[in-house]
């Protein structure tokens, strides 16, 4: 296939480029570098099967030649208000990438008779009242909350995707991505793993927000990409959760990072770094991914963190 990936220079987009090129496809990357980095795709510069367009997907997009599939991964994605690249500080771009960007990609998919895969998110469940989160749960999102620019844009994007599927018969997929980590994360984006692993490698105390009792479930990027590619190759049109179902508190997560890195600086608790809308629990129910795609994650947290450390050390310039 000839596959367009928006957000190709981002953390997930760049890993998808690698995986799909590895599967023998031709890949067209698109990114405007608002949150993505040219470094993430620099290794593809001489790959004959890779081409790249610097574009903002919220404007009309055009790609010469036939396109067989479009994966829409362009969006700011970090919720941390302290980060310049988080959606808190890019609110309008975030809504435009999720809403207008999805519309443009669906329009292109329709004219090209291409399949379309939307990168959606566990954030569509908001601060969930159903646990673990199953795809049939409709979520608990505040439309005027500080996370709304991301959550509601992705909810709109899911609705638009289903509308194009039902009304225009576009061959669509929706993946709901849960917390993911690995090499090529932006060390400055303020999310839990970049913040905590960077602090640990620098011998600093890890900043745990609140009492650290809130939970997340962390998936290694290679597992996630494997699930997304399986979904792309499947015929499933309804949303599928992809994420690691092993739930832990953020305090346990921080302690694991300190243990693996041998960091003796401990933990510091920070009260007001996040909005009151920080979801208290998050864990994917991956029954559908298992049954439909025969997918389960394989990399455990310790191994995943060990595989992430060399990239962080390189970025931090430490041996
Ligand atoms: N978190 C933290 N310390 C940090 C960064 C994040 O305790 O330095 C917490 C954050 O409050 C949240 C969890 O880690 O409860 C995951 O945050 P992240 O920004 O990775 O994404 P989210 O899962 O909230 O979308």
CATH of the domain at 39: 3.40.50.720
- Rounded to the nearest angstrom, the distance between the alpha carbon of 6 and the centre of ligand 1 is 25
Is residue 309 assigned to a domain?
no
Q: What's the confidence (pLDDT) of residue 27? A: 98
Q: Which residues 6+ apart lie within 8 Å of 33 measured at CB?
A: 9, 54
Q: In the numeric block, which tokens belong to residue 210?
A: 């609140």
Is residue 209 assigned to a domain?
no
Q: Which residues does the chain have with pLDDT short of 50?
A: none
Q: How far apart are CA 82 and CA 284, in angstroms?
A: 27
Question: Which of 223, 310, 304, 214 minimizes the C-alpha distance to 257?
Answer: 304
Q: What's the confidence (pLDDT) of residue 273? A: 62
Q: How far apart are CA 26 and CA 1, in angstroms?
A: 6
Ligand 1: residues whose CB is within 6 Å? 78-80, 179, 191-192, 195-196, 207-209, 214, 216, 250, 274, 278
Ligand 1 atom closest to the CA of 122, numbered from 1: 25
What's the whole-model pTM score? 0.97
Question: Which of 28, 170, 53 minimizes the C-alpha distance to 111?
Answer: 170
Q: Residue 66 belongs to what domain range?
A: 2-181+220-245+283-298
Q: How far apart are CA 193 and CA 215, in angstroms?
A: 13
Is residue 207 assigned to a domain?
no
- Rounded to the nearest angstrom, the distance between the alpha carbon of 44 and the centre of ligand 1 is 31
Q: What's the confidence (pLDDT) of residue 276? A: 62
How many domains is the chain partitioned into structurally?
A: 1
**Best probe residue, ligand 1, of 216, 248, 255, 279 (max atoms within 8 Å of C-beta):** 216
Is residue 173 assigned to a domain?
yes
């Amino acid at each position: 296939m000839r596959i367009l990936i928006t957000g190709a220079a981002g953390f997930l987009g760049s890993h998808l480029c690698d995986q799909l090129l590895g599967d023998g496809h031709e890949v067209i990357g698109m990114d405007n570098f608002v949150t993505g980095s040219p470094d993430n795709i620099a290794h593809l510069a001489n790959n004959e099967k890779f081409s790249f367009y610097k574009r903002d997907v919220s404007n009309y997009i055009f790609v010469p030649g036939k396109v067989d599939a479009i994966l829409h991964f362009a969006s700011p994605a970090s919720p941390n208000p302290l980060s310049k690249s988080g959606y808190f500080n890019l609110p309008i771009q975030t809504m435009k990438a999720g809403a207008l960007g999805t519309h443009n990609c669906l329009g292109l998919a329709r004219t090209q008779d291409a399949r379309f895969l939307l990168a959606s998110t566990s954030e569509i469940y908001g601060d969930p009242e159903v646990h673990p989160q199953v795809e049939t749960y409709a979520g608990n999102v505040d439309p005027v909350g500080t996370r709304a620019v991301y959550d509601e844009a992705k909810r709109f994007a899911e609705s638009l995707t289903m509308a194009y599927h039902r009304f225009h018969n576009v061959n669509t997929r929706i993946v709901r991505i849960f917390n993911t980590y690995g090499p090529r994360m932006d060390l400055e984006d303020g999310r839990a793993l970049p913040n905590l692993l960077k602090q640990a490698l620098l011998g600093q105390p890890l900043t745990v927000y609140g009492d650290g009792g809130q939970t997340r479930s962390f998936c290694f990027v290679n597992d996630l990409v494997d699930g997304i590619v399986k979904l792309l190759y499947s015929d499933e049109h309804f949303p599928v959760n992809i994420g690691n179902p092993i739930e832990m508190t953020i305090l346990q997560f921080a302690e694991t990072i300190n243990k693996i890195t041998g960091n003796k600086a401990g933990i510091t608790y920070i009260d007001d770094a996040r909005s009151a809308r920080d979801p208290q629990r998050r864990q994917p129910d991956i029954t559908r991914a298992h049954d439909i795609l025969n997918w389960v994650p394989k990399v455990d947290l310790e191994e995943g963190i060990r595989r992430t450390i060399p990239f962080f050390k390189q970025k931090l310039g430490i041996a």
